[in-house]
Amino acid sequence: MSVLPLVFTSGWASGINAYAVVLLLGVFGATGLTDEVPTSLQRTDVLIVAAVLFLCEAVADKIPYVDSVWDAVHTVIRPVAGGVVGALLAGQSGSLSDIAAGVIGGSTALASHFVKAGTRMAVNTSPEPVSNIVLSTAEDLGVAGIVTFAVFHPTAAAIIAAVLLATGLAALFFLWSRIRRFLRRRAQRREEKRLAGVGRLPGRAGPPPW
């Protein structure tokens, strides 16, 4: 069970930025800083793809509303990545079942993903983009710091990740009313666009010039 704290922490981090987790673990393994990382994550092609996708996420994650679309797309990707990374870590150490590690990593990633996505919805209720940039940067730095810490102090890092996850879930509960208003406004805008498109169809009268 010695790899369990690293599996849990990598799962939590994958729910926030899966590409950063793969990139960091791969680099740490390739440079010999840890023996816990499987060779499949150290491959050059895997590192290049992870780096490119990380840069894409670093940009998309800081643009209001684009970040929520990005999160929606990654509702499946992040938990799957967390499960795969957890299973690979368990297979490398042999101290934990691959299936158990995959379930732990995937479920933890799913929980932290919901916290991230829900928090972004709440932040997007504010029209200014500064809060998105600040929150995204804090998430990137937090993932980098926790994953790096987990490589050298896995148990302590897992405790920190557990506290952050519990705090995030509690904050999400209190932010839910704000998130619902955001979802209602977004649905209203979609309906307005749909009605405007119907009004421009041939044979239909458009809006009055005044």
For the chain, what is the total number of helices (H) and then of strands (E)? 6, 0
Amino acid at 39: T
- Residue of 9, 14, 8 lying closest to 78 (CA atoms): 14
Q: Could you read off the pLDDT tens digit of each residue along the chain, which spans 210 residues?
A: 578 999 999 999 999 999 999 999 999 999 998 888 999 999 999 999 999 999 999 999 988 888 889 999 999 999 999 999 999 999 877 667 889 999 999 999 999 999 999 888 778 777 667 888 899 999 999 999 999 999 999 999 999 999 999 999 988 888 777 677 767 777 787 777 777 776 665 655 555 555
Query: How far is Cα of residue 95 from the mean position of the Cα atoms in its chain?
Result: 27
pTM of the model: 0.81
Q: Dihedral sign, CA of 121, 123, 126, 129?
A: negative
C-alpha to C-alpha distances, 175 to 30, 47, 50, 132, nearest whole angstrom: 41, 36, 32, 16
In sequence order, which residues have a C-beta less than 8 Å from that of residue 158 and are 6 or more positions away?
4, 5, 6, 8, 9, 150
Contact present, 142 and 51 (Cβ < 8 Å): no
CA distance linking residue 16 with residue 113, whole number of Å: 6
